[in-house]
Chains A and B, each alone.
Chain A
């Protein structure tokens, strides 16, 4: 153990190649992970922020807000159902917003929400014509007190405060009362217009578990609507599951690549030091000790590479202008990446075990090291 650490300290140059390659791979792993987290935050923020137990959609909507339509009668039926004690209308429209001071073609993508039950961090619905803006929109030049013009009809909306992590479909959220949302929808998307009282979805809560609330709501409308718990609603957002799967596959391949690099590098080191290990075995060192030294070296090299990579990714995160690459660096993601790399390092270095076991102490005789 001490021997391997001493070698690392005295001959660091020998490990530079592996450290550099592993640092690159660790940066890639943390960057891709951060990109996945950032994309998911941008797609799901508005739903994750819901304080309700479940969201109700119309039967054939496929959990799409834009295709869902909850009639007044269905809302009343759900509101009066046993097991449901809180119901709030919810609707969204995705539009471009003209921001004062920006160029005529430089629009901010916004998701204007109409709500009744405030999500986490969002105050009670504001007065008509006003909205709370997601901090994401700062990058588009939006400021509190400004009047932004929404959609082709240029509907004016005054921004009265900031909220955090409420983006949807990659667009910054604007949180307004249901009346304002209806007005914006009718003016800018006549094809999606809904009469007063009709909403796209309902946020509902009850005294029981979310599953109980879902069951109560489903039973109340006789199949004309269906409810999803918040995690189910998040997974139903188009692209979320696909995005997660694709990125996890890429991350998996990256970890395998790290393992291959470590395996090859330590196989090379072992081959180089076969004679030396022969001498060590001849003077009584056990295979377990020699192999343990290799694992320690792989672990230390990986930890050094991971530390450098984490620092680089944090610097990268600070350098990337807000609103460009959706990178979200978190301690959890960095730790997960380090753990995955350490596992890869141990498995990778284990490929040298057979070679270490096969070294014959007798080979030390006559060899010159």
Chain B
């Protein structure tokens, strides 16, 4: 053990570089883990953090709120389903909005009929809309011209909306999102398109009666018609088109990094094992057990991974609280723990190749000079 630390002390640059490289990789992994979760929250946070336990889409919508249209027939079917306690209309559209900073921005408007079936579940500031032209915004957009008290304008034709409340993580489509009453949503549509017919709700927020679970209610509603697609809140968020693709893309990235770390660590230890094979052979020849040399190698691998991880974590921690292009990042504790375990195992496993080479050393080669072969 003494040998392991002594060697690291004497070759500070070499080990320092590997530790720095690992630290950088750890930082990239953790940062992208936060980016992934932040991105997904900005895609579907408005679905995940709204108050309706069950959302009913039309099959035509393919689980995209804006693509779904609830015809009067479908709405009647939902309302008459056993186990339904309450139904609220929800409408969604993307509008061009001039924000409080004067910028024209793509903005999602979500109109809800009942506060308990489609509005954000919890407000962190302000209040729910109580008059025409009021909205709840997302804290993620508060610094981008959608703050509490700001008035924004739906273009063209100037329908004004004032933000009276803010909620955490209620964005949709990774952009500014405003929750308004259903009547205001309809008014915004009529404002930008005077020729529009009466818009139909996109989805319905549904609550089950006491004694019926959301899952049971979903099954009952879906049994009414093959044109209905009911989902519990969590599934509605997770099964929004694009969410799975984002997850898969990041998984590929994580896999890449996961492959790089053992490759880098493994090749590093192989190289230094080769370089010092003469000294290792000599140590074996004077009686050092192979076990001790391997243990020394593994200890170095553990120290390098742990110190590298600590450095990566130290860089990640302050940056994990920031916003990146409208996406709020968070410190991801489960990811930090999981990656620590994964990287330690991978780092140790990769150094086993070098350990195998140490075990193959023949002490007798100290007398023949064949250690470097």
A residues touching B (Cβ–Cβ < 8 Å)? 21, 24, 28, 32, 58-62, 64, 66-67, 69, 94-96, 104-105, 107, 109, 151-152, 186, 188-195, 198, 238, 246, 250, 253-254, 257, 260-261, 264-265, 267-268, 271-272, 274-275, 366-369
Contacts and interface: CB of A to CB of B under 8 A. Distances in A.
Given A104-B226, A367-B369, A67 B271 contact: no
Contact of A368 (B62, B69, B368): B368
B69 A253 contact: no
B334 interface: no
B60 A151 contact: yes
A257 B96 CA distance: 42
27 contacts: A21-B263, A28-B252, A32-B252, A61-B96, A62-B104, A64-B106, A67-B94, A67-B95, A67-B96, A96-B59, A96-B60, A105-B226, A107-B60, A152-B60, A152-B71, A152-B227, A189-B69, A193-B195, A193-B196, A253-B253, A257-B256, A260-B263, A260-B264, A267-B271, A268-B267, A271-B274, A366-B369
Q: Which 4 residue pairs spanning A and B have beta carbons closest together?
A: A190-B197, A191-B199, A104-B226, A264-B267
A272 B104 CA distance: 63
B188 to A, nearest CB: 10
B126 interface: no
Contact of B196 (A32, A59, A190): A190
Contact of A60 (B94, B156, B229): B156
Nearest to B173: A238
Contacts of A21: 263
Contacts of B369: 366-368
B229 A238 contact: no
A260 B271 CA distance: 14
B360 interface: no
A192 B274 contact: no
B67 interface: yes
A275 B196 contact: no
Contacts of A105: 59, 226, 229
A228 to B, nearest CB: 15
Contacts of A152: 58, 60, 69, 71, 74, 227
Nearest to A273: B372
Contacts of B198: 190
Nearest to B371: A368
A253 B227 contact: no
Nearest to B154: A60
A183 B369 CA distance: 88
Interface in B41-95: 58-62, 67, 69, 71, 74, 93-95
Contacts of B249: 246, 250
A190 B198 CA distance: 6
B199 A368 contact: no
A272 B263 contact: no
Contact of B268 (A94, A104, A250, A264): A264
A152 B74 CA distance: 10
Contacts of B60: 95-96, 107, 151-152
Given A67-B94, A107-B59, A368 B67 contact: no
Interface string B186-209: 000100110111111000000000
Nearest to B185: A191
Contacts of B220: none
Nearest to B60: A96
B274 A62 contact: no
B216 interface: no
Given A268-B274, A271-B275, A367-B372, A192 B106 contact: no
A275 B95 CA distance: 71
B193 A191 contact: yes
Contacts of B155: 60
Given A21-B263, A367-B369, A193 B193 contact: yes
Contacts of A59: 156
Contacts of B271: 264, 267-268, 271
B370 interface: yes
Contacts of B189: 191
B227 A268 contact: no
B193 A192 contact: yes
Given A104-B226, A368-B369, A64 B94 contact: yes
Interface in B329-373: 368-370, 372-373
Contacts of A271: 271, 274-275
B253 A250 contact: yes
B268 A69 contact: no
B270 interface: yes
B125 to A, nearest CB: 29
Contacts of B229: 105
A26 to B, nearest CB: 13
B372 A107 contact: no
B260 interface: yes
Nearest to A270: B271
